[in-house]
Structure 1
Amino acid sequence: MPAPVALTFDEFIAALPAERQQPAVQAWQLVRQAVPAGYTEHIGPKFLEFRAGKDMYIGLANQKGYLTLHLVPMYLMPVLQEQLAAAAPKLKMGKGCVNFTQADELPQAALTELIGATPPADYLAVRHAPRPKS
């Protein structure tokens, strides 16, 4: 299996459609400023991401018609999704992601709080805790 292609941040951004480059830069600056110490940044051909060990914490991806912030803590801790939905009821979001085309669609204060809420050790404890069977 070939090793994943490592990109620089600028190469990742340059590969995006022109209209998505600035929104992606702005969103990722928000993430970089909010992410707690201890996470590591990784840049690949499909995602910008911060990880705790090998586990994605936050990711940014280019989709067919929009950009997506993958917010794994929001998926694992539904109360965070509820808080974000209350702060931005018109935000296009799923259980663990936020879809946007322009950075001004993002509720910066609420996202900063959500991203900064979980130190790596706490995140890994929740991430690897046994889940109840449905």
Structure 2
Amino acid sequence: MSITAYFNNLPDDRKAPMQALWEAIEDNIPEGFAEQFYYGMPGFVIPHSVYPAGYHGDPKLPLGFIYIGSQKNFIVMHHLGLYANKELLDWFTAEYPKHSKFKLDMGKGCVRFKKPDQIPLALIGQLAARVTPKQYIEIYERVIKR
């Protein structure tokens, strides 16, 4: 499935919030990441042309970074930098209450938005801009890839 087809097939009440979330990331993510449908969701990866080793769990895949999805009860953003970088995670969790009146709902590297019309898009844009491909590769090789 393509990214366009994914967005076209979303329920009507999810199309606008998902598109807004995608654009907040797309408009701010540093150069060097590539758009790709990844694990069934639209996302941004570090392509093999930049990081030939790919994802350690399946080297045929590029190194995933951020991807978003529409689940039954929420919209989700997977940001693998949050999972691997405590400094980035601490920044995000400190900033979140400044941008949202709702409690932060997250797992190790995923953020769940249960109110699709209340996604803190400015914060997500700032988050997307904070890590370059080079920085993420360094974090990935130090923390995740063993």
For normalisation by structure 2, the TM-score amounts to 0.76
- The residue aligned with 1:3 is none
Q: Distance in 2 between matches of 1:97 and 1:20?
A: 18
Shift of 1:33: 0.6
Q: Distance in 2 between matches of 1:86 and 1:130?
A: 22
User: Match for 2:45: what amino acid?
Assistant: R
Alpha-carbon spacing, 1:14–1:102, altered in 2? closer, same or farther (3 Å):
farther
- The residue aligned with 1:97 is 110
Q: Deviations over 1:39-94 (max 9, x none)?
A: 00013682001001211111011222111011111111022222222122322222
Q: Conserved in 2, the CA contact under 8 Å of 1:35 and 1:116?
A: yes
Q: Distance in 2 between matches of 1:8 and 1:108?
A: 20
Count, aligned residues: 126
Q: Distance in 2 between matches of 1:74 and 1:95?
A: 7
Shift of 1:102: 4.3
For normalisation by structure 1, the TM-score amounts to 0.82
Question: Aligned-residue CA RMSD in angstroms?
Answer: 2.1
Q: Distance in 1 between matches of 2:38 and 2:82?
A: 22
Which runs of no fewer than 5 residues in structure 2 stay unpaired?
48-61, 98-102
User: Match for 1:58: what amino acid?
Assistant: I
- The residue aligned with 1:12 is 6
SS in 2 for 1:36: coil
SS in 2 for 1:88: helix
Q: Conserved in 2, the CA contact under 8 Å of 1:12 and 1:44?
A: no
Which runs of no fewer than 5 residues in structure 1 stay unpaired?
1-5
Alpha-carbon spacing, 1:14–1:73, altered in 2? closer, same or farther (3 Å):
same
Q: Conserved in 2, the CA contact under 8 Å of 1:61 and 1:69?
A: yes
Q: Distance in 1 between matches of 2:70 and 2:116?
A: 13
Q: Pick the aligned partner of 1:55 from 51, 63, 76.
A: 63
Identity of aligned residues (%): 25
Residue 43 of structure 2 corresponds to residue 35 of structure 1: no
